[in-house]
Amino acid sequence: MSGPSFLPLAFTVFTPLVGIILLALMRTLALAGWINLALAVVEFLASLVMAWGVMEQGTLLAHGFQIDSFNVYLVVLTTFVGLTTAIFSRPYMAEVCAQGRITRQRMQLYHSMFQGFQFTMLLALTTDNLGVLWVAVEGATLATVLLVSLYRTPESVEAAWKYFILCGVGIALALFGTVLVYFAAQQVLADPENGLTWSVLYAHARELHPTVMAIAIVFLLVGYGTKVGLVPMHFWLPDAHSEGPTPVSAVLSGLLLNVALYAVVRFKMLADGALAASTMPQVAGHLMMGFGLVSFLVAVLSLQRQRDIKRMFSYSSIEHMGLMTFAFGMGGPLATFAALLHMLVHSLTKSAIFITVGHASHIAGTQSIERIRGLIRTQPSVGWGLLLGVAAIAGFPPFGIFTSEFLVLSATMQSWPWLTMLLLTGLVTAFAGLFRNIHPMVYGAVPEGQVAVRANMLPIMVHMALVLWLGLAIPGFLSGWLNEVTLLISGKGML
Amino acid sequence: MNLTQLPLLEQAVFVIAALALMASFALLAQTRLTASIHSFAWQGASVALVTALVASINGIHHLYLSALLTLALKSLVIPWMLHRLVRRLEMEQQVESITHPALVVLTGAALVIFAYWVALPIERLEMAGTRNIIAVSLSIVLLGLWMMIARHQVVAQVLGFMSMENGLFLAAVASTRGMPLVVELGVAFDVLVAAVLFGVFFFHIHESIESLDVDRLNRLTEQEQQP
């Protein structure tokens, strides 16, 4: 077997599996935090070695795993955000535990399931088998549902129940879609065992039965779309993000939504191939555009009236996922490239924002927007962090989100000019809503007795520096990967 | 091809799949919890039987394993767990009132027709039975979904969820002769974990709202009033 070695990939994916068991048994909580961090470091380093191998030698295809230029950067992103969140979560959760909000047993559960979530995310990204992809995405729900209800308040139990039921139903529809794809594959493939292997299916995409694939893509889009947070299946998302502990919100928003969208795009590639010769070649793309645009607009409007800071940012996540879905749906090299870049910069920025919000709500002792005031005087680092984060997420230059949103807008201008106005209005409205709320939180008068907390700003600074870097110059290897994926998805390269 | 021209065993597959669909309707209209759990167990058993029949018709040995797994999980372990939970929460005698029972069942019937309509284009693939089975399994999935919407009791919602899984499994087995083994094991594992988590949640919900009626899970609304 030529090509890159399998070993770094195995280390990346299976380290968290070891972590689940190890941390579930670990009774010394202080040590468990450090072990969680150490595991995250191992995962990150292994994924870097793996990415290096893929960069040098090209696609890796072995033992049912597949790493091509589409998922390689998402794997590195996942382990990286996992690492920075682990750095943040160690002192943060220790503080929460010291305050008596959660018991020691639940702390153990938290660490174990943090790794469990990492495992399912990495498995979903790296597997070549669409069935295993489904199992992993469902596994991610199961791993995080108890984390959402970690505080055991009536609100958090309700949020977790909603999350469980809605995502469970959604993902069940996705399984029906997967069964239909398997059914279509059996009509064309000689060996039915390969009927769910994405790389084999992709090679035979043109022979798959178009009608079956058209029905399948509807189920898949609605199913995985529930996890992406597309309207009208989005109701779980703000609840789960606002009631769960902050590190969980950071990884949910930064990673889970991306992985679900990744699944949708993989299936879209198959459906586009199958439907290319039929009477409705664009059906998958148009569906995605519709869902994406509606999600974007609904989220922009809902964002305006939120009173909980984490709810507000979770609507912002729906807005950005809607924009990406729209861009992927539009197809074309420019839009696809923009969407891929947007996945990267959004998840870096959003996880940084959630981490900052965690510190801010510890300072103020509440998540209510009306009662968080004067952050920049109390603790300048948190205040500035929040301000810069929001500037980045709202699409200010020179941050990376400006670049990707600009590309999406140009692509829309090219192929659907009349939709550009809707997008622009939406972006401006979102910006206005965010700043109206952020301004008093950062600059307002300091409430009496508000003191600074111990905050490790390193993860936030690294994330923001990366987003800034991506806004100014995209490194050659990354743009090479993004370009290759663009070629794979839209049939034409961007560069 | 006419259904009566099929070999007897394949006809049996259809009959038993239809039984699973009937169990779905029983679930939908049944207001007593213990009786609902029994209907669910029967549905699991019929899906397991379909799996075993498909295995023997096509001589696929790994499907026997799936059939055994389904029988154990869907018609024994999960119903037993639910039964125990219902007993521990002292709800055996509880009867849920459905607001418009006739409307609920009629909507269910409409969903079955809709499922057949969705499966219509697949008919052209010239596999007589497939369309029927896909339509039946889609009906079970949609009825499970409808049950989760129409019923306000947490246990009933869980039964709806699990019967959706039954429908999916039926689709996989009967239309494609079973997914690859690794996928089937993964799905079974997920279902088992989900069942355990549901049990955990019964207690959490019971603790936090002192009832298992989801209508009372209404603290999180869009305009949240801070105390």
Single out the residue of B87, B96, B93 nearest to residue B154, CA to CA: B96
Each residue's pLDDT tens digit, B149-171:
888 788 888 888 888 888 888 88
Residue numbers in A near B180 (CB within 8 A):
129, 131, 193, 195-196
The per-residue pLDDT for B177 is 74
Each residue's pLDDT tens digit, A172-199:
889 889 988 888 888 787 777 777 888 8
Residue span of the structural domain in which B141 resides:
3-216
Do the Cβ atoms of B53 and B76 come closer than 8 Å?
Answer: no
Most A CBs within 10 Å: which of B181, B184, B190, B210, as the mutation test of the A interface? Answer: B190
Tell me whether residue A494 is in a domain.
yes
State the pLDDT confidence band at A154, using cuts at 50, 70 and 90: confident
The per-residue pLDDT for A199 is 84
Nearest to B161 among A158, A168, A370 (CB): A168
Tell me whether residue B224 is in a domain.
no
Each residue's pLDDT tens digit, A378-394:
888 888 888 999 999 98
Tell me whether residue B225 is in a domain.
no
- Residue appearing with tokens 């943040």: A88
Give the CA distances from residue A89 to residues A17, A418, A495, in Å, rounded to whole numbers and listed in that order.
19, 45, 39
Q: Residue A64: what are its φ and ψ, rounded to 5°?
A: 80, 5
- Measured CA to CA, the distance from residue B147 to residue B140 in angstroms comes to 10
Q: First vs last Cα of chain B: how many Å apart?
A: 67
Given an 8 Å threshold on Cβ–Cβ distance, is B168 in contact with A138? no
Q: What is the average pLDDT score of chain B?
A: 81
Surface of B (171-190) touching A: CB under 8 A: 171-172, 175-177, 179-180, 182-183, 186-187, 189-190
Tell me whether residue B227 is in a domain.
no
- Measured CA to CA, the distance from residue B113 to residue A186 in angstroms comes to 27
Tell me whether residue A41 is in a domain.
no
The pair of structure tokens assigned to A469 is 């870097």
The per-residue pLDDT for B227 is 41
d(CA A111, nearest CA chain B) in Å: 18
- What percent of chain B stands above pLDDT 70? 87
Give the CA distances from residue B43 to residues A169, A307, B20, in Å, rounded to whole numbers and listed in that order.
19, 46, 5
Tell me whether residue B158 is in a domain.
yes
Question: What's the pTM value of the predicted model, to 2 decimals?
Answer: 0.90
The per-residue pLDDT for B226 is 44
Residues 6+ apart with CB under 8 A from A406: none
Q: Which of A28-37, A363-372, B174-183 has the lowest mean pLDDT?
A: B174-183
Nearest to A239 among B207, B208, B220 (CB): B220
Residue span of the structural domain in which A398 resides:
333-495
Question: Looking at the predicted structure, is the pLDDT value of residue A4 above 70?
Answer: no
Tell me whether residue A311 is in a domain.
no
State the pLDDT confidence band at A441, using cuts at 50, 70 and 90: confident
d(CA B102, nearest CA chain A) in Å: 24
- Region A102-131 average pLDDT: 88
Q: What is the average pLDDT score of chain A?
A: 86
Tell me whether residue A31 is in a domain.
no
Question: Looking at the predicted structure, is the pLDDT value of residue B224 above 80?
Answer: no
Question: What domain count does chain B have?
Answer: 1
- Region A238-259 average pLDDT: 88
Which of the given ranges, A95-99, B26-30, B55-59, B87-91, has the highest pLDDT on average? B26-30
Residues 6+ apart with CB under 8 A from A344: A73, A77, A400, A470
Q: Residue B179: what are its φ and ψ, rounded to 5°?
A: -75, 165
Tell me whether residue B194 is in a domain.
yes
Given an 8 Å threshold on Cβ–Cβ distance, is A146 in contact with B187? no
Question: Looking at the predicted structure, is the pLDDT value of residue A283 above 70?
Answer: yes
The per-residue pLDDT for A117 is 92
Tell me whether residue B123 is in a domain.
yes
Give the orientation angle of helix A333-364 with respect to helix A69-98, to 10 degrees: 10
